[in-house]
Chains A and B, each alone.
Chain A
Amino acid sequence: MRRGWFLPIAAALGFSFLYAPIVSLVIFSFNESRLVTVWSGFSTKWYGELFRDPQMLGAAWLSLQIAAIAATIALVLGTLAAVALVRFRRFKGRTLFSGMVSAPLVMPDVITGLSLLLLFVAMEGFLGWPRGRGMLTIVIAHATFCTAYVCVVVQSRLSDFDRSLEEAAMDLGASPVRTFFDITLPIIAPALVSGWLLGFTLSLDDLVIASFVSGPGSSTLPMVIFSKVRLGVSPDVNALATIIIGLVATGVLIATIIQLRSKPKKAKA
């Protein structure tokens, strides 16, 4: 095929549209000046500043904890849902269940956040739990929508899982529990890892839902950044954003690599 100039230019424009803002943000995080838009020399002082800011560090630690716990809960629940959907082909309300599991994927965050807030308030009124809003409510909220993502990822892996592998293991003398740990788990492990990483990343990123369900003293990192930016963009936010981009990109990259690595084997074997 003849190589024209159109496709490369279109690709370059497309990628710059996507990544130019991020690249400029990363560059300006190394800016010496206090003014965000004026370049006055290379420096890492805003990173230093960032690590001396207790509010930022506290929020970051909170966000990481929430993300880890929510992703873990979502992993367990999402995997169970995926197993139910894939393994039990016919049960009453299967279509409804599968639709409802994936609904949070397309639900606007504002609605998810608002509805959860209303739920928590009502529950506190009737049950006295969860008392007030804080880390616990954020974890629950994040776990709900991350469950949907985990479920979708695990479901796709499970649906091309050859059940005769499990039967073969049992045929060779392995008990059902043994079979699960020897055969099922190793084979779906990549999906579990990438599902967890996906949930972790999503939780770390979330601003809208967390804003609804958080309480005093439990501001997550995105919330702190957002409130800082409203008072004017300061260079240390650039530095923080760069770190987050690095973390998220690494997470997504690992998840993708794990997914891809496990694909060719399955396709052939």
Chain B
Amino acid sequence: MAKKSTQLAIDTRPWRDTANNKPFVRIKNVTKKFGDVLAVHDVSLDIYRSELFCLLGGSGSGKSTLLRMLAGFEQPTSGTIEIDGQDMTEVPPYNRPVNMMFQSYALFPHMSVEQNIAYGLKRDNLPKAEINDRVAELLSLVKLQDYGRRKPHQLSGGQRQRVALARALAKRPKLLLLDEPLGALDKKLREETQFELVKIQESLGVTFIVVTHDQEEAMTLATRIGVMNLGEIAMVGEPTDIYEFPNSRFVAGFIGSANMVEGIVTEDEPGHVRIRSSELGCDIYVGHGVDCAPEQILWWAIRPEKMSLSREKPVTPHDANVTSGIVEEIAYLGDISLYQVALESGKRIRVSQTNSVRGNPDAITWDEKVYVTWSDSSGSVLTV
């Protein structure tokens, strides 16, 4: 997560105290149709000052359309967008206090790096000396001091990405929109750049809205993530919320990997819930109350790393939360190994185990019968 200071005060997480904090960007019931196609459907979203908000979704989820509406390149079919208390509906892109960094970078090929960065400043008719100062400042911010006179085609992909960022920051926008900012970079460079981006965002205090399809990128960058699916916001929350407490089967399946099983509620008490799952071949004991009814069919999702494997049947309370199966596949990933276990019902679940012993000769191997167990708070009960 981006903000990791020693005191995680509420003022760095304004969305936790909506009563006392005014949202900086306010998207209200925005819908966008292209002909008959519903690209964005009734999205409402509040984003606060200095946030680094990620819109995460697959292709066609409407995340880019939403971003383009914020920039002013598309008009909402209905609904309003407010930025800093100002209604933006009628404001054309060239009058918005917003700048955008494009996925293709969109650097002007016939201008040098300096001219690219200065373009927005010249449109504001700033005095020449000030423009030069600002350009120099931005070039040093993105560590491209010696590249000012080059043309975009003489730069590498990473350098172009930084020029695009500098150009988008030049006018000191209140809000910066980034469309897949790291999408065109290779993996190694992407990881380095992620942290640089966060550093720049924190030092300037600009509000960032980042569109990405890469969940790892979203988890690394964001203060909060908005998961989009089929033009709607599926869930909004901090990265840990999204990962640990998904609100729906879609979110649980989209973020990270999850084992999902269907079950039926057999006990519904304020302090615990018992779910019978024939797929899993055992009862699931959940150690907290859930908003459900007896006999209700629902889903239960658990992350591979929240379960453990053993050869001996472990002792579990409540006669639940343990099942057995045969190891079918093992993927050795270095730090962890991923086991695919076939249960008696035919359901396959994935369990990851940390490889804490070097070259462990006693490790669980193919075709072994194993017991899979988990604690009563490890999984998420999902009703939708």
Contacts and interface: CB of A to CB of B under 8 A. Distances in A.
Interface in B57-76: 71, 73
Nearest to A269: B109
A265 B102 contact: no
Interface string B93-121: 11100111011101111100000000110
B109 A172 contact: no
A66 to B, nearest CB: 33
B153 A171 contact: no
Interface size class of A (residues with CB under 8 A): 20 to 34
A265 B152 CA distance: 8
A191 to B, nearest CB: 14
Nearest to B153: A268
A162 B108 CA distance: 10
A169 interface: yes
Contacts of B95: 173
A266 B119 contact: no
Interface in A189-209: none
Contacts of B71: 167, 171
Nearest to B123: A173
Nearest to A174: B123
B186 interface: no
B153 A172 contact: no
A269 B94 contact: no
B167 interface: yes
Interface size class of B (residues with CB under 8 A): 20 to 34
Given A165-B106, A265-B109, A170 B153 contact: no
Nearest to B96: A171
A137 B84 CA distance: 61
Contacts of B213: none
A168 B108 contact: yes
Contacts of A269: 107, 109, 151-153
B106 A170 contact: no
Interface in A147-171: 162, 164-165, 167-171
A49 to B, nearest CB: 48
A167 B94 contact: no
Given A265-B109, A268-B153, A269-B109, A170 B104 contact: no
A164 B104 contact: yes
B26 to A, nearest CB: 21
Contacts, number: 71
A187 interface: yes
A171 B94 contact: yes
B49 interface: no
A37 B151 CA distance: 56
A269 B71 CA distance: 23
A182 B100 CA distance: 19
B340 to A, nearest CB: 43
A183 interface: yes
Contacts of B124: 173
B100 A168 contact: yes
Contacts of A168: 100, 102, 106-108, 167
Given A172-B99, A174-B94, A269-B153, A162 B104 contact: yes
Given A167-B73, A265-B151, A266-B109, A172 B120 contact: yes
Contacts of A173: 94-95, 120, 123-124, 171
A175 B104 CA distance: 21
A182 B108 CA distance: 10
A164 B106 contact: yes
Interface in B126-177: 151-153, 167-168, 170-171
B82 to A, nearest CB: 19
B99 A171 contact: yes
Contacts of B99: 171-172
* Most A CB within 10 A of own CB, among B93, B102, B124, B171: B93
A249 to B, nearest CB: 28
A10 to B, nearest CB: 37
A169 B119 contact: yes
B123 A172 contact: yes
A187 B98 CA distance: 25
B186 to A, nearest CB: 17
A264 interface: yes
Given A265-B151, A269-B152, A170 B93 contact: yes
Given A178-B123, A265-B153, A268-B153, A171 B100 contact: yes
Nearest to B92: A170
A264 B151 CA distance: 12
B106 A167 contact: yes
Contact of B94 (A175, A186, A265): A175
* Most B CB within 10 A of own CB, among A167, A168, A178, A268: A168
Contact of B119 (A162, A164, A167, A172): A172
A168 B165 CA distance: 12
A187 B106 contact: no
Given A165-B109, A175-B94, 5 more contacts: A167-B73, A168-B107, A170-B92, A172-B171, A173-B124
26 contacts: A164-B102, A167-B102, A167-B106, A168-B108, A169-B119, A170-B73, A170-B92, A170-B94, A171-B93, A171-B94, A171-B100, A172-B94, A172-B120, A172-B123, A172-B167, A172-B170, A172-B171, A173-B94, A174-B119, A174-B123, A187-B110, A265-B109, A265-B110, A265-B153, A269-B107, A269-B151
State the 3 A-B residue pairs at the shortest beta-carbon distance, nearest first.
Answer: A172-B120, A173-B123, A269-B109
Interface of A: 162, 164-165, 167-175, 178, 182-183, 186-187, 264-266, 268-269
Interface of B: 71, 73, 92-95, 98-100, 102-104, 106-110, 119-120, 123-124, 151-153, 167-168, 170-171
